[in-house]
Amino acid sequence: YIVVNADEGDPGAYIDRMLMEMDPFRLLEATIIAGYATGARRAFIYIRREYPEAIGTITSAAQEMLDSNYLGAGIFGTDFSFDVKIVTGKGSYVCGEETALLRSIEGKRPEVALRPPYPTERGLFGKPTVVNNVETLANIPWIINHGSAAFAEIGFSKSRGTKAISLNSLFRNPGLYEIDMGTTIDQVVNGIGGGLKSGNLKGIIVGGPIAGIIPPSRFGTRIGYEEMKAIGGELGHGGIIAFDEGTSIRDLISHVSSFVAYESCGKCTPCRLGSRTVENIFSGNNKGRSWTRNDYEILSDTLLETSLCGLGGGLGEFLKSAALNYPGEVDACFV
């Protein structure tokens, strides 16, 4: 099977929504090509339920393609048949994790599954399954038409092509943009975004609520997967959330850990209990216990190294990033 992960749940990210609503045929064409290349005969496009317009747009486009024999049995008289089914997401943030997403399509409780086996070996309904997000697939038609060499000319290092990004409402120029890989963070934040509408910029979170915090001192970094990882960040979906000097790191950690605790599927102990513990520490609900800076490090490492998926692991990375880039504020939270 081919499964398109359009369960874009990161706050501040609307890239998948934009791609589906503006050019649904591009995604469907890419899905068909992926099916042809892998020998799959059916695809499931799993779209976040909070995107009713995207669901309607993709559904209408798929029906139009079926009526024109771009989909269905014996496409254009060949022996290649391909079917696409649109699935509405179940609402949980963890449905964006590939194994939870597959369980959701199967009608099961969306929770993370142990790996291996990986979906490419044993995925949806026990069959080999390719899971990709919308933006990854949307690159395929362009590469087919222009060639891989032309695609590789865009970007730098191991990060090639372009990346869609979204800037939140604190920027002077909020919105969706497409940039070349290799553009510096400063060019995005202060060039494209125009800086903050008001106040002094304290930092940004790129790629979702559980990505690392990036301070202005690191804005010279070029945007690429390895480069973002090297400074404790993630590129993820490309949502960029700015916060100003009025935001305390303590409140930020409390908010993010509360989000993780609420969205956790509960299957693994590190995420289920660890996220709640972090929330209690930073919300002041310590239940009589005095937590130390060493406890913070242990929690960070445990979440990062033993969680089943990127939700708990991402919180661990977030905590480490906060301690790395804002050590004084983190230290001040402990006795």
Do residues 229 and 292 share a domain?
A: no
* Residue 173 to residue 169: CA distance in whole angstroms: 8
Q: Report the pLDDT value the prediction gives residue 60, as an integer from 0 to 100.
A: 98
Do residues 169 and 103 share a domain?
A: no
In this predicted structure, which of 52-66, 248-262, 275-289, 301-315 has the lowest mean pLDDT?
275-289
Q: Point out the domain boundary residue: 212, 244, 276.
A: 244
Alpha helices in 201-325 (DSSP H): 225-230, 249-263, 269-283, 293-306, 310-325
Do residues 18 and 124 share a domain?
A: yes
Do residues 16 and 71 share a domain?
A: yes
Structure confidence by residue, pLDDT tens digits, 264-273: 988 999 999 9
Supply the range of the domain harboring residue 269.
249-331
Structure confidence by residue, pLDDT tens digits, 69-88: 999 999 999 999 999 999 99
Q: Point out the domain boundary residue: 198, 216, 244.
A: 244
Give the CATH number of the domain where residue 279 resides: 1.20.1440.230
Q: Report the pLDDT value the prediction gives residue 209, as an integer from 0 to 100.
A: 80
In this predicted structure, which of 32-36, 211-215, 289-293 has the lowest mean pLDDT?
289-293
Quickly state the pLDDT bin for 335 (edges 50, 70, 90): low
* Residue 78 to residue 128: CA distance in whole angstroms: 24
Residues 6+ apart with CB under 8 A from 159: 181, 182, 223, 224, 225, 226, 227
Do residues 176 and 64 share a domain?
A: no
Quickly state the pLDDT bin for 286 (edges 50, 70, 90): low
Cβ neighbour number for residue 68 with a 10 Å cutoff:
11
What average pLDDT does range 316-321 have in this prediction? Answer: 93
Do residues 253 and 237 share a domain?
A: no
Q: Is the pLDDT of residue 300 over 90?
A: yes
Structure confidence by residue, pLDDT tens digits, 225-266: 999 988 888 888 899 999 999 999 999 999 999 999 999 988
Do residues 6 and 83 share a domain?
A: yes
Give the CATH number of the domain where residue 139 resides: 3.40.50.11540
- 3-state secondary structure (DSSP) of residue 5: strand
Do residues 268 and 315 share a domain?
A: yes
Structure confidence by residue, pLDDT tens digits, 109-135: 999 998 899 999 999 999 999 999 999
**What are the b/e assignments for 301-332, b being 16+ CB within 10 Å?**
ebbbeebbbbbbbbbbbbbbbbbebbeeebee
Residues 6+ apart with CB under 8 A from 197: 170, 171, 172
Residue 107 near residue 116 (C-beta atoms within 8 A): no
**Phi and psi angles of residue 290, each rounded to the nearest 5 degrees, phi first:** -95, 115
Structure confidence by residue, pLDDT tens digits, 203-231: 999 987 888 899 999 999 999 999 998 88
Q: Report the pLDDT value the prediction gives residue 151, as an integer from 0 to 100.
A: 96
Alpha helices in 222-292 (DSSP H): 225-230, 249-263, 269-283
Do residues 16 and 140 share a domain?
A: yes
Going by their DSSP bridges, the two strands 2-6 and 213-214 should be labelled as: unpaired
Quickly state the pLDDT bin for 92 (edges 50, 70, 90): confident
Give the CATH number of the domain where residue 237 resides: 3.10.20.600
Going by their DSSP bridges, the two strands 201-206 and 213-214 should be labelled as: antiparallel
Residue 64 near residue 172 (C-beta atoms within 8 A): no
Do residues 233 and 314 share a domain?
A: no
Q: Is the pLDDT of residue 66 over 60?
A: yes
One-character DSSP codes across 80-111:
--BEEEEEE--S-GGGGSHHHHHHHHTTS---
Do residues 187 and 108 share a domain?
A: no
Do residues 10 and 112 share a domain?
A: yes
Residues 6+ apart with CB under 8 A from 18: 164, 176
* Residue 175 to residue 17: CA distance in whole angstroms: 13
Number of domains in the chain: 3
Q: Point out the domain boundary residue: 244, 278, 312.
A: 244
Q: Is the pLDDT of residue 276 over 90?
A: yes
